[in-house]
């Protein structure tokens, strides 16, 4: 019986996604950011000392953003952009409705929430180039309730 429990525990541990807290810049979020973590990220440091998240091509990492709402909010949308050279390009999300990803909307001021969404790293993404990603959650009424910037690189 002990062996069975140990085996089940080891399998569960192996299947669990490991999230790592990444380096990010808060770009004037209205809400109080508590943590930003990603699964499938190999964390490294650039030559300038900035944290960089490496994603494997054809992987599906998960983004987890924990924040405290400072005001009530009902309808929220997520937008993701990547800065390629000097051009910001939209990252296609199949569903931009933030409330579909672990949040109980409407959000209430003073309460902590964790938003979690998977993103696909497609085969045609350039490898070994550093990109700045902009991840925002908000609406027209409030602006950017959550706004963060972080660095990524796609690897083979």
- Rounded to an integer, what is the distance from CA 5 to the centroid of its chain? 33
- The domains of the chain, with CATH numbers, are 18-155 (2.60.40.770)
pLDDT for the residue 92: 83
Tell if the pTM clears 0.95, that is, is over it: no
Tell me the longest C-alpha to C-alpha distance in the chain.
60
What distance in Å separates the CA atoms of residue 148 and residue 132, rounded to the nearest whole number? Answer: 10
3-class secondary structure, 73: strand
Query: How confident is the model over 62-97, as pLDDT tens digits?
Result: 999 999 999 999 889 999 999 988 888 888 888 999
Phi then psi for 70, rounded to 5 degrees? -100, 0
């Amino acid at each position: 019986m002990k062996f069975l429990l140990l085996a089940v525990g080891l399998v569960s541990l192996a299947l669990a996604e490991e999230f790592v807290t990444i380096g990010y810049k808060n770009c004037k979020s209205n809400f109080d950011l508590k943590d930003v973590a990603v699964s499938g990220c190999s964390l490294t440091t650039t030559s300038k000392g900035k944290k960089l998240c490496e994603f494997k091509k054809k992987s599906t990492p998960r983004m987890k953003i924990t924040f405290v709402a400072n005001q009530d909010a009902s309808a929220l949308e997520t937008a993701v952009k990547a800065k390629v050279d000097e051009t910001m390009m939209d990252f296609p999300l199949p569903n931009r409705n933030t409330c579909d990803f672990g949040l109980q909307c409407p959000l209430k001021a003073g309460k902590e929430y964790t938003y979690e969404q998977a993103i696909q790293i497609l085969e045609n993404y350039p490898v070994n180039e550093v990109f700045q990603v902009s991840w925002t959650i908000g609406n027209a009424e409030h602006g950017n309730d959550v706004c963060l910037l972080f660095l990524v690189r796609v690897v083979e």
